[in-house]
Structure 1
Amino acid sequence: MQRLALFLGISVVTALLCAETTARTGGAQSYDTKAALGEALFFDVNLSKNRSQACATCHNPDYGFVDPRPTEAGLAVSIGDDGISLGDRNTPTASYAKYAPYFHKVEDGVYRGGQFLDGREPDLTGQAGGPPLNPGEMGMPDKASVVARLRENTNYVSAFKKLFGDDVFVDDDTAYKAMQISLAAFETTPFFSPFDSKYDRSLRGEVKLTDEEELGRVLFFSQQFTNCNQCHQLQTSQISKEETFSNYEYHNIGIPVNLEVRAANGLGSDFVDPGLLDNPLVSEPSELGKFKVPTLRNVAVTGPYMHNGVFKDLRTTVVFYNKYNSKAASAQTNPETGEPWAPPEVDGTLSLKELEHGPALDAQRIDALVAFMKTLTDRRYEHLLKE
């Protein structure tokens, strides 16, 4: 039914979410835990200005917790509750988001962790408070307006008082923070991070990787033959089920401007996304244009890719990385356009040490890496690989 909704348009998707909200929050519902309350809130479109958008709209659990709705700019960015506003960054998956550490600066001066692509919220609780008040997203004018919507639902009122105390609604800030805590509690459940991909099942001996997938796995974790694990390996062990395939650092890898998005949202090609410098805790010019290393969990079903959704195909991303180490014409050409790679949006802060690590890759090894990354797809999304 949701595939039909996508075909018919955004209004039908909204209708489906409204139906989900009614099912989850209507009637005599009782929420005994913060996570259960957070689940209801996650799907509730009433927390947006026009009652048309929920957290689940842009983080749809049927599509790897990304936004499947087509816009004027394709799937690269999301449209707001007002039906007009278009963002400038690709909506990141909420899968495995709980594993991002609290935003901090490590001893070597490298920033790590946080939520959003620029880490501007230190943790999931902070992140949950952003979208409802963002005019380009859910569009509510202030916390008081959100709390007023919460109080419309008697089930919410009962649950909030039971879980946070009878005086939770005395102060709007307190009630809003309770909402954030509940949403974060839901996002920390196994629903978001099941660790049941083919890769995980192979570690448990339940399935065997194909020869191509195994080659990709070996290449991926190799210190000698690729640069993948320079940024996309968290654990020191290669057999840890809690490998989220991100070290949660920030890098500028030379991504070009997404001209299609800039034409659609009106920012224009001259606008420069400051990346990590959007974080109020960061002021060093050397951090301009850097973005958080994303998890590779479910990467094969959560395109388009890069912080601005500029690449549509997963294989394109591997070819893009290969351009730093290969002089071959195929490596210096964007396979989606047939033209040379466009210049970086920000050129002076490239992570060349990481990007230039390792030798050039031939087509067989590129395909093997893509095949391995497909094995990082949660079991419930494996049908999307075929679609």
Structure 2
Amino acid sequence: MRGLAIFLALGLATPAAAQDTLEALGEALFFDVNLSKNRTQSCATCHDPAYGFVDPRETEVGKAVSLGDDGVSLGDRTAPTAAYAMFAPGFSQVDEKMWVGGMFLDGREADLAGQAGGPPLNPIEMGMPDKASVIARLSENSDYVASFQALFGEGILTDTDAAYAAMTQSIAAFEKTEVFAPFDSKYDRFLKGEVTLSKEEELGRVLFFSEQFTNCNLCHQLRVSPLAQDETFANYEYHNIGVPVNQAVRAANGVTGRDLGLLANPAVTDAAAGGRFKVPTLRNVAVTGPYMHNGVFQDLRTVVLFYNKYNSLAKARQINPETGKPWRMPEIPQNLAVTELTHGPALDDKRVDALVAFMKTLTDRRYEHLLEE
């Protein structure tokens, strides 16, 4: 089993041999390529546990978006990390102009089980034609048959919808285990008094949580206290921060039209939702690039400079360091989160670098080696 090799390589607990719990069954399903049309792709392909639960594969557009099971199709959004995803609340509209929670970048699924059911049936992802085809693949595996019957009842695999729901429930149970959320980064160890932050990291920490000097914690702080040991560094709200089109991706995948973000969620019809995407966790952010919903930026420092452009009048700050050209226009210029984006003063290089240094401390212990690569 590929999953076992990865777990051993990461120094994690060995998976249970028998699929006698929802978590163990979900783990097996998470790594099973047989649940894709051509038997080449699993959940772990695009959410690889060796790489912060994102897709490490290179394509013709780098790592910006993922390649489908058909070996040809390219997505239009980057695969977000599955790490710490369990902490996102269910999707809801908080007030007239604010939405929060849910799964996927547009919140179109309410919970982890709903999210797990999407990729197998997506024609440009795992590509299975329908739920019945997925259940037929499950039925090929005698271990699965025994596990499903033991956990969900004797006739579970004869009811397609119920069996599919059982599959997604199992995967969700696995994604709720500590494997996905160890809270053991350098920052977590700092909170426990086990390590000391460098001067640069400490400056970055102070800046990050300061409402006077940055706008970071307006969206990337969930708990009231900056000393909360289960901070996920996301409030799971939806904002339009003015991300430009990833032209290389669009040239490769042939997608036309604009990515409407939250407005693409069938439950949302308000035009004010256009261009908004869910605030992601910053856990492991330093090792899970490229960045933004479409992978348009390669470097974490570029992301900080992108935010800083809204607060700086300096000509140099209006240049994208990755292209050497001015920042391109937002894909959807309406509905920009002007209040959040313009909060705080312009940052000098020392403070930009300090913020990057602090965000590196949010890397889970098992991925710290990736910071050097």
Instruction: Establish whether TM, by shorter chain, passes 0.5.
Output: yes
Encode CA deviations 1:189-248: one digit per residue, 9 max, x unaligned: 000000000000000000000000000000000010000001000000111111000000
Q: Which residue of 2 aligns with 1:60?
A: 48
Matched, 1:101 2:89: yes
Contact preservation (8 Å) 1:17, 1:45: no
Aligned partners of 1:18 and 1:230: how far apart in 2?
39
Q: Which residue of 2 aligns with 1:159?
A: 147
Pick aligned residue for 1:366 from 345, 352, 361: 352
Aligned partners of 1:363 and 1:236: how far apart in 2?
29
Pick aligned residue for 1:138 from 114, 126, 130: 126
Contact preservation (8 Å) 2:102, 2:109: yes
Do the aligned partners of residues 77 and 146 (structure 1) sit closer, same or farther apart at CA in structure 2, a change above 3 Å counting?
Answer: same
Q: Which residue of 2 aligns with 1:287?
A: 273
Q: Which residue of 2 aligns with 1:340?
A: 326
Matched, 1:297 2:266: no
Please state whether the residue corresponding to 1:46 is helix, strand or coil.
helix
Pick aligned residue for 1:218 from 194, 206, 215: 206
Pick aligned residue for 2:311 from 322, 325, 345: 325
Please state whether the residue corresponding to 1:39 is helix, strand or coil.
helix
May I ask how many residue pairs the two structures share in their alignment? 365
Aligned partners of 2:316 and 2:363: how far apart in 1?
28
Give the 5 Å matches for 1:1-387: 30-107=18-95, 109-268=97-256, 271-387=257-373
Residue type of the alignment partner of 2:216: C
Encode CA deviations 1:306-335: one digit per residue, 9 max, x unaligned: 000000000000000000000112211000
Aligned partners of 2:41 and 2:3: how far apart in 1?
8
Please state whether the residue corresponding to 2:351 is helix, strand or coil.
helix
Task: Give unpaired runs (5+ residues) of structure 1.
Answer: 1-14, 21-27
Residue type of the alignment partner of 1:304: P
Contact preservation (8 Å) 1:17, 1:57: no
Contact preservation (8 Å) 1:249, 1:293: yes
Aligned partners of 1:55 and 1:18: how far apart in 2?
15
Residue type of the alignment partner of 1:278: A
Encode CA deviations 1:35-57: one digit per residue, 9 max, x unaligned: 00000000000000000000000
Q: Which residue of 1 aligns with 2:10?
A: none
Aligned partners of 1:377 and 1:19: how far apart in 2?
22
Aligned partners of 1:359 and 1:287: how far apart in 2?
27
Please state whether the residue corresponding to 1:331 is helix, strand or coil.
helix
Aligned partners of 1:280 and 1:238: how far apart in 2?
35
Aligned partners of 1:125 and 1:53: how far apart in 2?
19
TM-score by length of 1: 0.92
Contact preservation (8 Å) 2:65, 2:75: yes
Percent identity reads 68
Q: After TM superposition, give the deviation of residue 17 of structure 1 in Å.
A: 7.6
Q: Which residue of 1 aligns with 2:12?
A: none
Residue type of the alignment partner of 2:31: F
Residue type of the alignment partner of 1:384: L
Q: After TM superposition, give the deviation of residue 30 of structure 1 in Å.
A: 2.1
Contact preservation (8 Å) 2:310, 2:341: yes
Aligned partners of 2:301 and 2:196: how far apart in 1?
23
Task: Give unpaired runs (5+ residues) of structure 2.
Answer: 7-15
Contact preservation (8 Å) 1:50, 1:82: yes
Encode CA deviations 1:111-151: one digit per residue, 9 max, x unaligned: 00000000000110100100000001000000000000000
Q: After TM superposition, give the deviation of residue 169 of structure 1 in Å.
A: 1.4
Aligned partners of 1:171 and 1:350: how far apart in 2?
46
